[in-house]
Amino acid sequence: MRTMQLLAIALGGVIVAIGLVGIAAPSVLLEFGRSLQTPGALYAVGAARIALGALLVWVASVSRMPRTLRVIGIVIIVAGLLTPFFGVERAQTMLAWWSSLGEGFLRAWAGLAVAFGLFIIYVVASPRRAGT
């Protein structure tokens, strides 16, 4: 289980890093998003979401907030399963809409990614409190 915890912490760190890039240079994050708008990339993104969600469900029992982490993990798994059905055209439309809302909007969402990554690190790295 310790290996899975370390992997979850590392993935939380990756999420934080991506969020920080989005805060510092939203255009870089948009370009990365554009590069993922192919059918193959959507399958890869879906698989990555499923893997992250499964990891969160797996480590939830030893985390500081097991129920919360399980729910988040299940939501991410469902999002991963639905990703291929979303389609490239919808993904392009959504990215165009997001980019039209301006850098402030993109930075705010990137800030939420930083907060989410830090949340994962906190709940997985912190020892579970007695009695929970």
Domain positions in the chain? 2-125
- Is the pLDDT confidence value at 99 over 70? yes
Give pLDDT tens digits for 100-115: 999 999 999 999 999 9
CA–CA separation, 102 vs 95, rounded Å? 12
Q: Could you give the residue ranges of the DSSP H alpha helices within 25-131?
A: 26-35, 39-59, 66-86, 88-100, 103-125
Give pLDDT tens digits for 32-88: 989 999 999 999 999 999 999 999 999 999 999 999 999 999 999 999 999 988 889
Which structure tokens are listed for 94? Answer: 């959504």
